[in-house]
Structure 1
């Protein structure tokens, strides 16, 4: 095991805003959530945002507070010029500057709210969480080209967790739990999962996990989505970055393709997992799942099956993680014992700990 940490580390390490790594792009919304029709209130990294689209389609993030009497701007309405407060009608443009006060010609120079740097890329809205040295982005948001790949169809959602964000990291970095938690969906034989061939590598702040399970029985989700003949060769490829995790899972009929071939065929599930702290003890989980239809005419049907199975899976995870955190609060100040499946999650925690020391 790479390191041993105490249960109290998991809880106590999120007691300060400084414990969210800075100078990072975090997910604050999926593109489909933001519209010109209705503002969206969302707190990320202890920052209260109102998100909406300007009439030109640009995604905008402002401080969710009118500078006049502090009503949340998300209680207002979106107009062509920006967003209008629902209390006294002050209108703010996409830069956060008040451009109209009903019944008053002169607009005070202080009549403005903070505008936050966000960028829309691959149908994801990214929020820049900068330091004093880098209040504006010094790099581009991450690329996730799967959303724009014509070989795949995808959809997704956002979940709210009453638990710290690193517990979600731990869950995603260790897929050995599938055989116990997800028996009705993507699980499979628990013994096979616990004994899967696993390789863990780290390059900079990125951790990659590759797990192979040749000769496996396909789990229920796989059987629903793909016409496997019998046994399958399964793979799980997990890539951890500070703000998000990508997981490519799937299977081919046993002995028909190489699991290290990047162009391998079979059934694919490509998951995007944007894990963003809301506060020290609550989190947003932005997820999408993409799959590769073999029959274009049945693409929407396949997508519906995969998305519903994914939701069922994530519902199971959320129950486990929430109960886990509540039990940690009930029984504090006790150590946790690591086992062989914890290597990748421990490396991810170490990366965040190191970043916190310099942010």
Structure 2
């Protein structure tokens, strides 16, 4: 299981956007976050403001007025755009200034940088390209579990004081569940560490599949689904550069095949959008979809509450891990059998960065 050792980062170092793979869609947020106020968010070292016009158009602009540099996120959202809170310049979704109070002529250079943003399946995607003027080379990914009607879902946003790839490592290695998440989705730690695991992928993705047959249902599963006794569990993790899709769940032990695409039982389909803020911090956009068999509102609430609890536990672990990496300085890490998936994902990002630097 070869892989480059995880290295510490200098939190004081200047990190340009090119420190991250470009010509990519990254998650900028969720549709429900855009309300009557502008939303400030730094992504890939770019301070941005996101908003929605009265016509429903989603926009992302550089968070700096071209007049006197006030953050536009401190402005007022109007029907046609965003009005600066200092001198009232009004900016449309294209970044062009539409109006200057008290002045009839608007100079052509009165504009701010606009980013391409798309809303799909209630996820906001933003394009970061090598060429600022070039349009995206592809459409953002679909996530039908938000819109198919087969699942109920909810989600939220976390901010991490840790590099984004540490979260990739965590999500691609679910063996930690038996140690970190004993009160929620964990279960027997030995079963987790010895689970049958299959790792596959291509030049841009990694898939990890794990099966834990004839095991005790963890607390979250028992609270959300009427299992008889023991269960057969599955974990399917798909890594893509900007997001991971994790399908976990279980059926009653021996009742049906856990590799059947149409299998029943209890499902938890997680969306995990991991977007760098800086080299040493990131945003974690998550949603969880489930398939209640009874009491849908109560079951969804239980699943979301339990999911949030697991993410609180992960956040504590990952931020403590990174703080310790900084404390001890650059040190090599020893790989074990569960690191195959995380190491593959790191090699994908390393290759993308090298391709950009050529």
Residue deviations 1:114-137 (CA, integer Å, cap 9, x gap): 111000001000000101287320
Q: 2:17 aligned with 1:20, yes or no?
A: no
Kindly state the Cα deviation for residue 12 of structure 1 after the two structures are TM-superposed: 6.6
313-322 vs 129-138, which deviates more?
Answer: 129-138
Task: Evaluate the alpha carbon distance shift between residue 208 and residue 303 of structure 1 in structure 2; reply closer, same or farther with a 3 A threshold.
Answer: same
| 2:148 match | 149
- 2: distance between equivalents of 1:15 and 1:90? 31
Kindly state the Cα deviation for residue 188 of structure 1 after the two structures are TM-superposed: 0.2
Kindly state the Cα deviation for residue 233 of structure 1 after the two structures are TM-superposed: 0.0
- 1: distance between equivalents of 2:330 and 2:225? 47
| 1:50 match | 49
- 1: distance between equivalents of 2:189 and 2:9? 29
Alignment of 1:309-328 (within 5 A): 309-328=306-325
Residue 317 of structure 1 aligns to a residue whose secondary structure is: helix
Task: Evaluate the alpha carbon distance shift between residue 15 and residue 195 of structure 1 in structure 2; reply closer, same or farther with a 3 A threshold.
Answer: farther
Residue 115 of structure 2 aligns to a residue whose secondary structure is: coil
| 1:5 match | 4
| 1:197 match | 196
Residue deviations 1:138-171 (CA, integer Å, cap 9, x gap): 1010111110121100000000000000000000
Q: Is the 8 A contact 1:4 1:337 kept in 2?
A: no
| 1:302 match | 299
Q: 2:94 aligned with 1:84, yes or no?
A: no
| 2:331 match | 334
Q: Is the 8 A contact 2:238 2:245 kept in 1?
A: yes
Kindly report the root-mean-square deviation, in angstroms, between the aligned alpha carbons of the 2 structures: 1.4
Q: Is the 8 A contact 2:15 2:45 kept in 1?
A: no
Consecutive unaligned residues in structure 2, runs of 5 or more: none
Q: 2:342 aligned with 1:345, yes or no?
A: yes
Kindly state the Cα deviation for residue 28 of structure 1 after the two structures are TM-superposed: 0.4
Residue 145 of structure 2 aligns to a residue whose secondary structure is: helix
Residue deviations 1:328-348 (CA, integer Å, cap 9, x gap): 000012111000000000000
Q: 2:135 aligned with 1:136, yes or no?
A: yes
Task: Evaluate the alpha carbon distance shift between residue 222 and residue 23 of structure 1 in structure 2; reply closer, same or farther with a 3 A threshold.
Answer: same
- 2: distance between equivalents of 1:272 and 1:291? 12
Q: 2:32 aligned with 1:32, yes or no?
A: yes
Kindly state the Cα deviation for residue 277 of structure 1 after the two structures are TM-superposed: 0.0
Task: Evaluate the alpha carbon distance shift between residue 133 and residue 268 of structure 1 in structure 2; reply closer, same or farther with a 3 A threshold.
Answer: same
What is the number of residues matched between the two proteins? Answer: 354
Residue deviations 1:275-311 (CA, integer Å, cap 9, x gap): 000011000000000000113xx21111100000000
TM-score (norm 1): 0.96
| 1:354 match | 351
| 1:267 match | 266
- 1: distance between equivalents of 2:108 and 2:210? 58
140-149 vs 16-25, which deviates more?
Answer: 16-25
Consecutive unaligned residues in structure 1, runs of 5 or more: none
